[in-house]
Amino acid sequence: MMWRKFIPPDRADYIPFTLFALLFPTSIGIQFTLLLPKIFDGMTLSVSYAVVSYLSVAIYFCWFKLITTDSTTRGVMLPFVQKPEWKFCWICNQNSPPRSYHCQRCNICVLRFDHHCYFTGRCVGFTNYRYFISIIALLWILCLLLLTTNFDYVITECGGLNWRTLLVIFFPSIAWLFGLTKELPFLIVLVLLLSVVAFLFSTYLLLYHSAYLHSGLTTYERNRKLSKYRCKSKHTNVQSVFGTKLHWSVLIFVPYLPVKLKGDGTTFEVLNFTTTNTL
């Protein structure tokens, strides 16, 4: 069954996976039906529909691609003889390349392991890191746009910029519980809450992963202070994730374009730019 491949291998990921799969389209649906038509009209409304649609579809595309793009050692030709810097994984019963790591949740070694993503139920690694970066960048832009437009609308509905309005925007659930948002339907308050949470979360991820991307290290390596594969060339580091053909900014906004990554995820360069491991 094709859909089974889509389900997270670890049951512990079912809740965050389902939350993203359901809450995101629900929020966009509410934004489309209850918020945008009240905030904009005419040409501006059409443009806002187009922008929100493009960003939402691109985020969902990246989410789908992150799940279906295999970053594991599955299907990779691995040597029978252990090479320097390689390690033997007793669970996979194979020699695993440098920078790979055995994920307990996916139960397989992952090439250039970055982290296990709970919202996709998959590991982010060598081939799908670009989709993860696109998701957080596009989500940040979408949340910023929605919060900006919703902010003006809520201020007007609440009668101006005051403590009550700020409470509605930044703590909508509390404001709703205390009956401070009688003018706004509950669904709008819910979208506000989700937008604030998603904006703060994507800002945090974007700041951290920008630093990781520039240093050439993965989240796993940075957390464990493993700096062997740190590279001073930001250009090289970004190219290792987005390939050499197109600029990273184009690929973040147009994630549908294919990339050709350098290497196969088993060979990496160290500080002095000499290749240490080859199959």
Rounded Cα gap, residues 93 and 98, in angstroms: 16
Residue type, 263: G
CA 79 to chain centre: 32
CB of 10 to Zn ion, least distance (A): 8
Distances (CA, A) of 143 to 24, 62, 138: 11, 17, 9
Binding to Zn ion by residue 10, rule CB under 5 A? no
CB of 235 to Zn ion, least distance (A): 29
Binding to Zn ion by residue 109, rule CB under 5 A? yes
The count of chain residues that interact with Zn ion, using the rule CB under 5 A, is 10
Binding segment toward Zn ion, per CB under 5 A, in 21-29, 87-95, 223-231, 232-240:
87-95
CB of 90 to Zn ion, least distance (A): 8
**Six token digits for residue 237:** 């580091």
Q: Of 192, 143, 200, give the one whose Cα is nearest residue 168.
A: 192
Q: Looking at residues 113 to 132 of the shown chain, list those that interact with Zn ion (rule: CB under 5 A).
A: 116, 123
Distances (CA, A) of 32 to 8, 26, 69, 135, 188: 30, 10, 30, 20, 11
Q: Looking at residues 89 to 108 of the shown chain, list those that interact with Zn ion (rule: CB under 5 A).
A: 89, 91-92, 102-103, 105-106
Of residues 117 and 142, the one with the C-beta less far from Zn ion: 117
Q: Looking at residues 150 to 209 of the shown chain, list those that interact with Zn ion (rule: CB under 5 A).
A: none
Binding to Zn ion by residue 87, rule CB under 5 A? no
Question: Cβ(181)–Cβ(175) under 8 Å?
Answer: yes
Query: What is the binding site for Zn ion (CB under 5 A)?
Result: 89, 91-92, 102-103, 105-106, 109, 116, 123
